[in-house]
């Protein structure tokens, strides 16, 4: 079976529905009009019978069987051309019949009318009619036929009109779906600039919104992939060239194979391998919003846990590391592992970029709709121009010094991706030579919470 277009399906469904409705309307109308005609005929025949009975009543004489009465009966019956019986008072005997046959009538119908003369009942007149025939009422028969034909005509016109309306209606209804399919196909063929126009019913608009957001997402991922490749090749090129040049020089015998030189090459290689590992972590973090394990977390507990893990390193560097307890419950809906990763990154940076005997403070603050984790140090600080750049991947303020600390400029971009995945923000305030304050804001009423949690 070949697949049918939406327009064809809508058209057929509408047509089937309207044909069924029109046929039902036709049957109801023809049933009620037939009934009215029947009632009208019965009334008409009754009036005719009363008319015969009037003639009889005014002219009849006793005894009933007289010759004159027979003539009267014959004349009247002939005039009205319908089978007629005249019964005695108790219907036990037929006094007169005009011998017309009524037994073969398709729809027999009779009316009894009492014949009373001067207050004395003489008998009953019974007139027979065929409701199927219209003897004596040609105008009625014509009217019945005409109205049936008219009804049929109206039904045929209604069918044609609804089919035409259905055709246009199905076109209007299917248009947004066809349009979405057309644009979706365009996207598949590589045109990612155009968005699907937002037309149609509420559900179709939702579907179009879905396609458009997928398109935005797709473009974002595509741009991210391109940018990532560029950044990565740029980052890998320098250490690789350095290693290759040195190895070449060793092969050419111009660079002595001393332990120190080999150690330098080894360090460079180690940095490269760390960079590759970090890139993998970054890629995971940037895709994190698709797989966060959100739960209700006591943030004081979480941040304090990370802080305690750094106490030893801080002591080694003689840095005074403090935790500022908010002394009130601070809960948020977050992925605890990812949050630990973020807090670890900012504390480790603070310790990295703060000189011996410096000071680092970690704390939590909360307001009605946001929870803020901060990490303040009195370290080297960051120049104003670079404040917005340090969250970009591979960005390091002072390349040589950062390298010294083993930095690859990826930590903060990972943190930024993770915080954004939580619907939050990350930022920094800093003065060169004075220190820096990194902060992470997480919305308390997190929309990411899955319903079962």
Four-residue CA torsion sign, 89, 93, 98, 103 = positive
Q: Give the nearest distance from C-beta 392 to ligand ADP in angstroms.
A: 9
Q: State which residue, 255 or 395, has the beta carbon closest to ligand ADP.
A: 395
**Closer residue to ligand ADP (CB): 173 or 410:** 410
Q: Which one, 192 or 437, has the nearer CB to ligand ADP? A: 437
Least Cβ distance, residue 432 to ligand ADP (angstroms): 9
Residue whose C-beta lies closest to ligand ADP: 407
Cβ of residue 319: shortest distance to ligand ADP, in angstroms? 12
In the complex, minimum distance from the CB of residue 396 to ligand ADP, in angstroms, rounded to a whole number = 3
What's the token pair of residue 15? 């047509």
Distances (CA, A) of 47 to 133, 286, 428: 17, 95, 105
Closest CA to 377 of 436, 319, 325: 436
Asked if 62 and 75 count as a contact pair (C-beta separation under 8 A), the reply is no
Minimum Å gap between C-beta 411 and ligand ADP is 3
Q: How far is the CB of 243 from ligand ADP (least distance, A)?
A: 20
By beta-carbon proximity to ligand ADP, the closer residue of 124 and 353 is 353
The torsion of the CA quartet 429, 431, 436, 438, rounded to 10 degrees, works out to: 10
DSSP string, 207-218: HHHHHHHHHHHH
Q: Give the residue with the Cβ less far from ligand ADP, 5 or 309.
A: 309
Nearest alpha carbon to residue 446 among 357, 347, 358, 335 = 335
Among residues 108, 83, 111, the alpha carbon closest in space to that of 97 is found at 83
Q: What is the smallest separation between the CB atom of 266 and ligand ADP, expressed in angstroms?
A: 20
Select 41 or 376, whichever has its Cβ closest to ligand ADP: 376
Which DSSP symbol is given to 289? G
Residue 361 CB, shortest distance to ligand ADP, in Å, is 12
Residues that bind ligand ADP (CB under 6 A): 345, 349-350, 353, 377, 379-382, 390, 395-398, 402, 407-413, 436
Closer by beta carbon to ligand ADP, 393 or else 422: 393
Question: Among residues 151 and 340, whose Cβ is nearest to ligand ADP?
Answer: 340
Distance CA 360, CA 343 (A): 13
Q: Inter-axis angle of helices 336-352 and 411-421, to 10 degrees?
A: 150
Between 264 and 429, name the residue whose CB sits nearer to ligand ADP. 429
Q: Least Å distance between CB 349 and ligand ADP? A: 3
Measured from the Cβ of residue 411, the count of other Cβ atoms closer than 10 Å reads 23
What is the smallest separation between the CB atom of 210 and ligand ADP, expressed in angstroms?
Answer: 34
Helix axes 67-80, 6-59, angle to 10 degrees: 160
CB distance 302 to 339 below 8 Å: yes
Q: Please report how many Cα atoms fall inside a 13 Å half-sphere around the Cα of residue 352, on the Cβ side.
A: 18
Surface-to-core class of residue 62, CB atoms within 10 Å of its CB (0-12 exposed, 13-18 middle, 19+ buried): exposed
Contact 343, 415 (CB under 8 A): no
CB of 341 to ligand ADP, least distance (A): 12
210, 184 in Cβ contact below 8 A?
A: no
Q: Phi, psi at residue 231, to the nearest 5°?
A: -60, -45
Which CB atom, from 14 or from 380, has the smaller least distance to ligand ADP? 380
* Residue 209 or 318 having the CB closest to ligand ADP: 318
């Amino acid at each position: 079976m070949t697949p049918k277009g939406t327009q064809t399906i809508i058209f057929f469904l509408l047509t089937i529905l309207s044909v069924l409705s029109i046929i039902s309307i036709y049957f109801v109308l023809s049933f009620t009009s037939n009934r009215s005609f029947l009632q009208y005929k019965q009334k008409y025949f009754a009036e005719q019978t009363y008319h015969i009975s009037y003639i009889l009543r005014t002219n009849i004489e006793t005894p009933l069987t007289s010759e004159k009465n027979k003539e009267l009966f014959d004349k009247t019956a002939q005039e009205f051309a319908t089978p007629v019986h005249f019964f005695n008072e108790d219907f036990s005997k037929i006094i007169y019949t005009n011998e017309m046959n009524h037994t073969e009538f398709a729809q027999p119908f009779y009316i009894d009318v009492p014949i009373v003369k001067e207050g004395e009942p003489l008998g009953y007149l019974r007139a027979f009619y065929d409701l199927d025939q219209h003897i004596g009422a040609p105008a009625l028969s014509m009217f019945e036929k005409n109205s049936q034909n008219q009804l049929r005509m109206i039904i045929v016109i209604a069918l044609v009109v609804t089919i035409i309306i259905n055709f246009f209606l199905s076109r209007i209804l299917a248009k947004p779906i066809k349009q979405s399919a057309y644009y979706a196909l365009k996207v598949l063929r590589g045109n990612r600039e155009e968005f699907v126009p937002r037309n149609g019913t509420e559900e179709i608009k939702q579907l179009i919104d879905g396609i458009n957001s997928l398109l935005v997402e797709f473009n974002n991922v595509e741009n991210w992939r391109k940018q990532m490749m560029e950044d990565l090749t740029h980052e890998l090129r320098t250490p690789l060239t350095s290693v290759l040049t040195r190895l070449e020089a060793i092969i050419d015998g111009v660079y002595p194979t001393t332990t120190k030189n080999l150690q330098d090459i080894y360090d460079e290689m180690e940095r490269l391998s760390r960079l590759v590992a970090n890139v993998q972590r970054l890629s995971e973090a940037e895709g994190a919003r698709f797989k966060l394990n959100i739960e209700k977390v006591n943030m004081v507990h979480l941040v304090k846990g990370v802080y305690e893990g750094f106490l030893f390193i801080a002591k080694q560097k003689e840095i005074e590391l403090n935790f500022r307890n908010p002394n009130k419950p601070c809960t948020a809906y977050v992925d605890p592992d990812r949050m630990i990763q973020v807090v670890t990154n900012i504390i480790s940076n603070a310790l990295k970029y703060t000189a011996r005997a410096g000071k680092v403070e970690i704390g939590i603050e909360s307001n009605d709709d946001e929870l803020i984790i901060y990490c303040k140090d009195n370290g080297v600080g960051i120049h104003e121009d670079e404040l917005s750049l340090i969250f970009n991947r591979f960005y390091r303020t002072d390349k040589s010094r950062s390298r010294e600390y083993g930095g690859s400029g990826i930590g903060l971009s990972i943190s930024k991706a993770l915080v954004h995945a939580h619907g939050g923000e990350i930022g920094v305030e800093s003065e060169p030579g004075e220190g820096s304050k990194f902060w992470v804001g997480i919305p308390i009423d997190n929309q990411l919470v899955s319903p079962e949690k």
